[in-house]
Amino acid sequence: MTPKVIKTIAAMRRQSRQWQREGRSIAFVPTMGFLHEGHLSLIRKGRELADVSVVSIYVNPTQFAPGEDLDKYPRDFERDIRLCAEEQVDVVFFPSNEEMYPGGYQTFVLNESLSDKLCGRTRPTHFKGVTTIVAKLFNIVDADYALFGRKDAQQALIIRNMARDLNFRTEIIVAPIVREPDGLAMSSRNKYLSPVQRQQALVLNESLRRVEALWREGERDLDRLKKEMATAIESRPECRVDYISFVDADTLENAGDDSKKILLALAVFVGNTRLIDNTLLQR
Ligand code: AMP
C-alpha cells in the first residue's frame, strides 16, 4: 500500500499519538531521500522491531555549508514513495523548510566533543545541523526506535550520545554498511560520479579491505597502514584523500595502544564528490 505522506508537524504528531493510544510501537528512519538499499535495510530492520514505520525525507539545509551540494542534492520523491510502498512503510514525513525552520528560528543542538573531529574538520558546521534536525524529528515523531547506518559512523555515534545526554526515549539502532556488488558503499552521492570516477571510487573499499587483511596478519603500525592507504588512493587520478583516521570508536580520539575498538574512517574526494567509508578493527 502507498504510504501516507504527511507534510506538517501537527499532523505527524497526531498520527504518532494515535498509534501510541492503540499500543503500537513506532520505528523511524530519518533520510534525505533518493533512497537506495542502504536506506531500505534500515526500513526493513525497523519493520522487524516495531508495529509501524515512519520514514522522513528531508534535505536538511542546516547541515550543508555554503558552497556544498544542498541545491543539487539528488531528489526523486515519486521513486522514493514507490520504494517505501514496497517496504510497507506506513508514513512518509515530508516537511518543507518553512515547516522545519520557520522565520525567527533560533535554537541548535550541538555535541561539543565530537562535532569537530573527522568529517567535522572539513565540514565544521555539519554535525550541528544533523543533531538539530534529528532532535527536532525525534520530538515530532516520538518513535520507539530510530535506525541509522554505520556508513555514517561519526553521525551514528553523535546521535547515540545526543539521545543519551538529552534523555530522548527513542532507542538508537545502528545497522551495517550496505555496499554495491563491487564493494562501493551505497550513497545518494554516488550519482554524482562519472563512469571513470565510479570505477576509481572502488579504492575506498579496496583500501579498507587491504588494511583489514594486514590487521588480521598482525600489523599494528597505524602510520604504516595509513601511508599505504593514502598511496593506493592517491594513485587514482580522480581521488584525493580528505582524511584517513584511526580513532577510538567511542571517543574519536586518535587510536592508541590501549584502544580496544578502533574506527578506521576515511573521506576521499573523487572529482568534486566527497565520499566516506569506514571499518572497525578489534584488538
Ligand atoms: P542519508 O539519506 O544519506 O542522510 O542517510 C539516511 C540514513 O541511511 C543514515 O542513517 C545513513 O547512515 C544511512 N545510510 C546511508 N547509506 C547507507 C549505507 N550504504 N548502508 C547503511 N546505511 C546507510
157 & 47 share domain: yes
Rounded CA gap, 39 and 43, in Å?
6
76 within some domain: yes
The model's pLDDT over 231-250, given as tens digits with 9 standing for 90+, comes to 999 999 999 999 999 999 99
Ligand 1 atom 22, closest CA: 149
Q: Is the CB of 177 within 6 Å of ligand 1? A: yes
CA pseudo-torsion sign 140, 92, 124, 265: positive
**Total number of domains in the chain:** 2
Rounded CA gap, 265 and 122, in Å?
14
**CATH number for 219:** 3.30.1300.10
Last residue of a domain, one of 175, 200, 227: 175
Annotation: binding site for (R)-pantoate:
63, 155
80 & 137 share domain: yes
Bridge-partner residues for 129, per DSSP?
none
The model's pLDDT over 151-209, given as tens digits with 9 standing for 90+, comes to 999 999 999 999 999 999 999 999 999 999 999 999 999 999 999 999 999 999 999 99
The model's pLDDT over 80-107, given as tens digits with 9 standing for 90+, comes to 999 999 999 999 999 999 999 999 999 9
139 & 162 share domain: yes
97 & 215 share domain: no
Say yes or no to pLDDT of 257 above 90.
no
Q: What is the mean pLDDT of the chain?
A: 98
CA distances, 31 to each of 59, 105, 268 (Å): 8, 22, 22
Last residue of a domain, one of 122, 146, 175: 175
163 & 200 share domain: no
Instruction: Record the pTM.
Output: 0.98
157 & 209 share domain: no
183 within some domain: no
Catalytic residues: 39
Q: Return the closest-CA partner of residue 244 out of 261, 223, 260, 258.
A: 223
Average pLDDT over residues 11-21: 98
Average pLDDT over residues 16-21: 98
Q: Return the closest-CA partner of residue 134 out of 172, 105, 106.
A: 172
Name the residue with cell 514496497: 86
Average pLDDT over residues 20-43: 98
Annotation: binding site:
32-39, 63, 149-152, 155, 178, 186-189
Rounded CA gap, 51 and 27, in Å?
8
Share of the chain above pLDDT 90, in %: 98
Mutate which of 28, 42, 53, 160 for ligand 1 pocket (most atoms within 8 A of beta carbon): 42
The model's pLDDT over 126-163, given as tens digits with 9 standing for 90+, comes to 999 999 999 999 999 999 999 999 999 999 999 999 99
Here the cell at position 243 is 582524511
63 within some domain: yes
171 & 264 share domain: no
Confidence of residue 283 (pLDDT cuts 50, 70, 90): confident
Last residue of a domain, one of 154, 175, 196: 175
Share of the chain above pLDDT 70, in %: 100
CA pseudo-torsion sign 74, 171, 262, 181: negative
Here the cell at position 153 is 559512523
Q: Return the closest-CA partner of residue 113 out of 145, 82, 158.
A: 158
Give every CB contact of residue 240 below 8 A, 6+ residues apart in sequence. Answer: 233, 234, 268, 269
Rounded CA gap, 8 and 105, in Å?
17
Amino acid 165 reads D
Ligand 1 atom 17, closest CA: 38
Average pLDDT over residues 34-52: 98
75 within some domain: yes
Q: Is the CB of 129 within 6 Å of ligand 1? A: no
Q: Is the CB of 32 within 6 Å of ligand 1? A: yes
165 & 201 share domain: no
Rounded CA gap, 109 and 115, in Å?
11
142 & 224 share domain: no
Residue 100 has a pLDDT of: 98
Q: Which residue segment(s) compose the domain that 118 sits in?
A: 4-175
46 & 68 share domain: yes
Residue 61 has a pLDDT of: 98
E strands along 45-158, which residues?
52-57, 91-93, 145-149
203 & 224 share domain: yes
